[in-house]
Structure 1
């Protein structure tokens, strides 16, 4: 480093607060949320954060320059006291919210699916999203807006999965088990039902061309739906955001430890938003302001005043389903029909099967090294550009096919006969 650079850094650092010790986590201690152990966090999504040989599997080591950036974000996060981190309503990003009734069938409890939707125009495609574990349909809100800026005729359907957001599973009338079924098979069935129920609710004569987009757990769900082939050629393509079978299963070994580091609750919604930004769980403040409030529910009688807002989804209770979400994901991803996109936050997440598939050109790979696990929330503009380009490459309506030989012969005969 030159003398000029060194003097410049000293002048800048003189106006900054002193840095914390190297072993201190990024979230500062003065925040008004409870820092005790927890069983839920939106950050988990059974993250495909790369498996490391350390106890802090999900902690992101930061260097000197990143600490300067982090402290700048923390300073800006203090603006929440001035209303800068208030929630943003869903209506800023979607045209409608729907409650889709799905009655009880074969002894299974009824469910009311809650979805956010902006219908496609004309013959535009419908991007159908599925969020990760612990998140909600609003995880894709900013991305939905960016997609429509680039492709105005496109529609976006973003549901809350069962056990998340405002989707409600009814209590069995016979007093049976109330254990929430979050198996991959159940979540895939839900996604199929949601598409069909939305079609009926909005009066579509047929299902629009579909582009399925799933983040983390949602990536496993959209891949499973594509693999089933229930919508046939309607599924043009599917995209998986930051989840790979190998690294996901490795990361599950430390998931409970990771969850125990999350706060149990927050004093206000703004505190929850601020925590997500301070901890760099979500690196885009706009995304945090729209997505985080949907992850929390108000607790009218908290045992601790600092936990007035608690997590809607207790991720620790979903542990029996974790491995089932991801086993066989890579094989299904490569074998299913339709265009394939894998969008990652790091090349180290690729497992052997996907590495070979990528070398063989079986799918499109895009890596955003500057993003965290929530790629679509951290970088919604770049993600939208990638998804829209991905759709255009797989849009069959744009193809001009040559006429069939039989049609050419028939036309030639008719001309020769003067017909």
Structure 2
């Protein structure tokens, strides 16, 4: 730039009104300093070409006013906010209390229900040992996004969730036969309570122990043609029986209780037992109860004593692979890793006897860790087994009767 040009530019600039200073309070200065340290360092070095380029490129920057608070930190405790419980009403339209009485006990099964609309299917879910019907809440929400008219029935097994057995001192029978009979009873009593003329088409879904239960029910055939298919989540006979050897070790490392419900939710997330915080905030509250009589700081204890279920462990899974392959209806197996497949299921998969989906990024609770992906697979599984979508060719006799050539 020549001396004449510099003089002309200086005369024009001195004639402009001075810009009012932009005022920030100390708090705002501290907030912005965290975000703009690098820019401030560049502006301090007036002699560098980098500084000149930075200044030239920022001529269009808008300086926020004091009342905008663009860089203000969110209020409140983030931990408390993210560990709030999510109520069951977020996912289901009603809860059911279905009573059954035998010679020795009275059991009131607790279940969550959203009724199917029209000819839509009913997804019936059974949780694993130590869980509850809310284990499937996040999954069923994703299913209904894809099938808004679908129904959901999710029960709490005896000894779990809000299902009650009277007298409480009664020996808890958690044999596979009993749990299967309970599932059939809940389905039948739900039908009566809701006034359904017949059972809607159903997809049975079971996780871990629940997978063994729905497979046993499907194999028994007592639900007839109402069952379109069944899905088993992360359980196969071989690996399940092998895992039982280390079950006591796992239980010994699990906390006996928690000082608050929020700390229980936090433990499930931090230990990666459940890898999805939304799922944990929904399902964990049904796993714990407050024991007012405990004088320790860990008043929130487990509703289900898993160690007391040990006599039934082996009976849950023996023969599972054979029943899974032989039961009538569509078959779906979702696993967290292919290493869980035993020999019988590997052969069956190679023969195309069932559908297999693997989610290596998920933990044992596939449906809680990845509810959206799991729902996509299950909805697709339903659509492939939906008999109402089948269009059968006309019968030969009907064609001949109408005079058509065959």
Q: Name the counterpart of 2:156.
A: 160
Partner of 2:166: 170
Query: What residue ranges of structure 2 are gaps of 5+ in the alignment?
Result: 1-75
User: Using a 3 Å threshold, how does the CA distance of structure 1 residues 282 and 80 change in structure 2: closer, same or farther?
Assistant: farther
1:88-132, Cα deviation, whole Å (9 max, x unpaired): 10000001101011122xx24221110001000110000000000
Query: How far apart are 1:410 and its partner, in Å?
Result: 2.6
Whole-Å separation in 2 of the counterparts to 1:92 and 1:412:
58
Structure 1: 5+ residue runs without aligned partners? 1-77, 414-419
Which structure: larger Rg? 2
TM-aligned CA distance change 1:94 to 1:392, over 3 Å = same
Shift of residue 303, structure 1, vs aligned partner: 3.1
Instruction: Give the TM-score normalised by structure 2.
Output: 0.79
Map of 1:129 onto structure 2 = 125
Aligned equivalent of 1:295: 287
List per-residue Cα deviations over 1:35-62 (Å, max 9, x = no partner): xxxxxxxxxxxxxxxxxxxxxxxxxxxx
Task: Tell me if structure 2 keeps the 8 A contact 1:79–1:85.
Answer: no
Q: Which residue of 2 aligns with 1:112?
A: 108
Cα distance in structure 2, aligned partners of 1:370 and 1:133: 22
Aligned positions, number: 329
Q: State the Cα distance separating 1:170 from its structure 2 match.
A: 1.5
Report what 1:402 is aligned to. Answer: 393
- C-alpha deviation, 1:408, in angstroms: 2.0
Give 2:213's match in structure 1, choosing from 207, 216, 221: 221
1:226-256 Cα distance to aligned partner (Å, 9 max, x none): 0000011110000000001000000101111
Question: Are the counterparts in 1 of residues 105 and 170 from structure 2 also a CA contact under 8 Å?
Answer: no
Match of 1:103 among 94, 98, 101: 101
Match of 1:390 in 2: 381
For the pair 1:200 / 2:192, whether they are aligned, the reply is yes
Provide the residue aligned with 1:335 in structure 2. Answer: 326
Deviations 1:297-318 (A, max 9, x none): 111121311x110000000000
Distance 1:203 1:410, change over 3 A: same
1:377 maps to 2:375? no
3-state SS, counterpart of residue 194 of structure 1: helix
* Cα distance change, pair 151–319 in 1 and its aligned pair in 2 (3 A): same
Match of 2:67 in 1: none
Residue matched to 1:91: 89
Partners of 1:80 and 1:86 within 8 A in 2: no
> 2:308 corresponds to which residue?
317
Distance in 2 (alpha carbons) for counterparts of 1:403 and 1:387? 31
Quote the Cα distance in structure 2 between the aligned partners of 1:214 and 1:283: 19
Q: Tell whether 2:223 aligns with 1:231.
A: yes
State whether residues 241 and 317 of structure 2, in contact with CA within 8 Å, keep that contact through their aligned partners in structure 1.
Answer: yes
Partner deviation per Cα, 1:199-225 (whole Å, 9 max, x = no partner):
001111110001000000000000000
User: What is the distance in 2 between the residues matched to 1:365 and 1:197?
Assistant: 32
Residue equivalent to 1:189: 181
Q: Which has the higher contact order (CA 8 A, sep 6+)?
A: 1
Kept after mapping to 1: 8 A contact 2:133/2:161: yes
Q: CA deviation at 1:82?
A: 3.1
Alignment partner, residue 148 of structure 1: 144
SS across alignment from 1:260? helix
